[in-house]
């Protein structure tokens, strides 16, 4: 691999990590628009217990959660791998969700497939998330 290409891949991996950090800040800050911006309009997601959803359905689920005045939701993540190949990337990670009141904690293992879209932003086009329990 040439230096130019290795540097570009490293930059893309950094951009993806930044996008995940931005999403976490948006979600934790109850920003619905920012929370949905991580996802491509062509999204297909599969979360245990929720089934397969598209972009509109996923954003509706996020909006409903963020509109709940009785509970507070806080996500954090731990990235295991970021693999970049041109305009596609795969991220293996664990998401931890804390819900208050009640101090419920849930950890989900996920696999996110990103695509660099025409606006230059990396967005998730496919993802799967499953609880470790």
pLDDT per position as a tens digit, 71-85: 999 999 999 999 999
Sorting pLDDT into bands at 50, 70 and 90, what band is 29? very high
Q: Whole domain around residue 8: which residue ranges?
A: 3-131
Q: How many domains does the chain have?
A: 1
- At which residue do the structure tokens 């990396």 appear? 122
**CA atoms within a 13 Å half-sphere pointing along the CA-CB vector of 48:** 11
CB 58, CB 45: distance < 8 Å: yes
CATH number at residue 16: 3.10.450.50
* Type and span of the H or E element at 37: none
Residue 68 DSSP SS3 = coil
In whole angstroms, give the CA distance from residue 88 to residue 58: 21
Mean pLDDT, all residues of the chain: 91
103 SS3 class: coil
The residue length of the chain stands at: 133
Location of structure tokens 């967005």: 123
Token pair in block for residue 67: 């509109």
Position 34 scores a pLDDT of 96
pLDDT at residue 59 tops 50: yes
Band the pLDDT of 1: cuts 50, 70, 90.
very low
Cα-Cα end-to-end distance for the chain: 40
Q: Are 45 and 126 in contact (CB under 8 A)?
A: yes
pTM > 0.85? yes
Q: d(Cα 53, Cα 99) in Å, to the nearest integer?
A: 22
């Amino acid at each position: 691999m040439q230096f130019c290409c290795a540097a570009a891949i490293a930059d893309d991996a950094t951009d993806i990590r930044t996008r995940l950090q931005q999403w976490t800040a948006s979600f934790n800050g109850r920003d619905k628009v920012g929370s949905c911006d991580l996802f491509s309009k062509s999204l297909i997601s599969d979360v245990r217990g929720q089934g397969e959803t598209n972009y509109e359905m996923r954003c509706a689920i996020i909006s409903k959660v963020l509109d709940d005045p009785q509970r507070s939701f806080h996500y954090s993540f731990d990235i295991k791998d970021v693999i970049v190949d041109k305009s596609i990337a795969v991220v293996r990670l664990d998401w931890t969700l804390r819900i208050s009141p009640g101090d419920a904690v849930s950890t989900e293992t996920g696999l996110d497939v990103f695509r660099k879209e025409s606006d230059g932003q990396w967005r998730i086009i496919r993802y799967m998330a499953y609880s470790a329990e």
